[in-house]
Amino acid sequence: MKGPSYGMVLDTRTCVGCSACVIACKTENDVPDGVTRNWIFTEVSGTYPDLSMSIRSERCNHCENAPCVAVCPTGASYYGAGGTVQVDADKCTGCKACIAACPYGARFVDPRTDTVDKCTFCLQRLENGTPTTACQEICPTQSIYFGDLNDPESDVSRLLASRASYTLLPDAGTRPKHFFLR
């Protein structure tokens, strides 16, 4: 049997951009001021009066073919539990090659350690047997789903089977595991 492949699904129809996920992540993961592991993207498209607004809660896409992992010269960036992309701060030299390689702007330098950090899909929770992320748990409109993409019965798999979805920059060849429902 295949092991888990963790991924995230965001419902763009119900995300209101309230930033509760951003605050919950900061608290859960002790992210310092001035940097963030997740953010809200808003875009207005169309021509007046036919305008539409899209709002997305975004973070690292935990790409299956992650350029950040490929370029890291020390092995600090690696594929961890359930195919998540992680950073081992003890091995990170702060060279920033991964920041340049990520087409999503998902990484930053932690000013306290001068090592690179980003969304971990709340790895500490996964390791404690809590397969939910802080952002998922706090979302007041229940727009964030996290789970095993290899399990056809998981919420993420069911949603992807029943709704149209997209990933960001699909042509970049990174194979993101973060999906957005249309």
Binding site for ligand SF4 (CB under 6 A): 60-63, 66-68, 71-72, 74, 76-77, 85, 87, 92-98, 102, 104, 106-107, 116, 118, 174
- Cβ proximity to ligand SF4: between 118 and 125 the closer is 118
Q: Where are the beta strands (DSSP E) in the chain?
A: 6-11, 38-47, 50-59, 77-79, 85-87, 108-110, 115-117, 144-148, 165-166, 178-181
- Cβ proximity to ligand SF4: between 71 and 160 the closer is 71
DSSP for 154-177, written as a single string: SHHHHHHHHS-EE-SSGGGS---S
- Cβ proximity to ligand SF4: between 99 and 158 the closer is 99
Q: Which amino acid is at 161?
A: A
Q: Tokens 């995300």 correspond to what residue?
A: 15
- Cβ proximity to ligand SF4: between 14 and 165 the closer is 165
Task: In angstroms, give the least distance from the CB of 149 to ligand SF4.
Answer: 15
Task: In angstroms, give the least distance from the CB of 143 to ligand SF4.
Answer: 19
- Cβ proximity to ligand SF4: between 64 and 151 the closer is 64
Contact between 4 and 121 under an 8 Å Cβ cutoff? The reply is no
Task: In angstroms, give the least distance from the CB of 39 to ligand SF4.
Answer: 12
Phi, psi at residue 86, to the nearest 5°?
Answer: -125, 165
Task: In angstroms, give the least distance from the CB of 50 to ligand SF4.
Answer: 32
Task: In angstroms, give the least distance from the CB of 38 to ligand SF4.
Answer: 12
Quickly list H helices, 10-91.
20-29, 67-71
